[in-house]
Amino acid sequence: MILAGCSRREPQSEPVIGLLTDFGLRDPYVAAVKGAIYTVHPSARVVDLLHQVEPFQIWQGAYLVEEATREFPKGSIFVTVVDPGVGTERAPILLETRSGKFFFAPDNGILSLVVEREGMRRAWKLDKPSFYRAGKSSRTFQGRDIFGPEAARLAAGMDPDQLGSRIEKVESLNLTPASLLGQSFQGQVIYVDHFGNVITNIPRDLSSRLQEGILLRISIGEQTIRAPLVGTYADIPSGKLGALFNSSDYLELAMNKNSAAHQLKVSEGTRILVRP
């Protein structure tokens, strides 16, 4: 499909539009965003990534969008909405990564981990109302009125330079990159999953000298615990804490069939120090 009056970007194939929000599944908001997409581009390929990010939790959304979009190919388009500041001065943006993926999002830091992993190639402030949803726009629902229709136009072949004005940088969360500190590794908790596993931003390649079977000293806030570094969850004794590198190669604290987050009383953003 080619939209009238638009120069065409030549996609290799019809791209997927993936949706990730904190809208939940009991309200009409996800359906409204999809309807806005299909109104502009009836043959769009829309995929639900997830809609149960905890309301207003930008930290959590930043981790989930980075993880959920990893396996998608170049040219994929994502609408990411976790936006407690909707309707304020923060801008609606479009970002293209160096790997060629496109992200529509509020400029509130939710793309921090995506940019950290894939880099930013180009970004735009979505300041062209002629490409918004037809009719009156709402200040409280930019997912429907801006992101959805513009994602549809991009998927249909519109050049992203038509959708907005170039910007040089985007907002970032106050994330301290994982680093070496003497013989120790420091980082932050970036996500707590629904199993209660505590996922940090300490990557395997930074801490490759940590071998399975060693006992780690882990300081979180004022508490210091000891936990073995294991290969999988079943290697952790029942009722005990352990550490492992998860499927995304981040260091994770876990309990076998229990919640490490409940035991440690931690949340996203908590600083962590790991010593062999």
Out of 3.30.70.100, 2.40.30.90, 1.10.3470.10, 1.10.287.130, select the CATH number for domain 179-275: 2.40.30.90
3-state secondary structure the chain: CCCCCCCECCCCCCCEEEEEECCCCCCCHHHHHHHHHHHHCCCCEEEEEECCCCCCCHHHHHHHHHHHCCCCCCCCEEEEECCCCCCCCCCEEEEEECCCCEEEEECCCCCHHHHHHHCEEEEEECCCHHHCCCCCCCCCCHHHHHHHHHHHHHHCCECHHHHCEECCCCCCCCCCCCEEECCEEEEEEEEECCCCCEEEEEECCCCCCCCCCCEEEEEECCEEEEEEECCCHHHCCCCCEEEEECCCCEEEEEECCECHHHHHCCCCCCEEEEEC
Q: Phi/psi of residue 246, each to 5°? A: -80, -170
Domains of the chain, residue spans: 16-166, 179-275
Q: What is the pLDDT at residue 4? A: 47
**16-166 and 179-275 agree in CATH topology:** no
Is the predicted pLDDT of residue 5 greater than 80, yes or no?
Answer: no
51-103 pLDDT, tens digit per residue, is 999 999 999 999 999 999 999 999 999 999 999 999 999 999 999 999 999 99
| Pick from 137-141, 204-208, 249-253: least confident | 204-208
10-25 pLDDT, tens digit per residue, is 545 789 999 999 999 9
Other beta carbons within 10 Å of 66? 21
Confirm if 59 and 14 have CB atoms less than 8 A apart.
Answer: no
The CATH architecture of the domain made up of 16-166 is: 3-Layer(aba) Sandwich (3.40)
Residues ≥6 apart with Cβ < 8 Å to 206: 178, 179, 180, 185
Q: What is the pLDDT at residue 11? A: 46
Predicted model pTM: 0.87
Q: What is the pLDDT at residue 8? A: 52
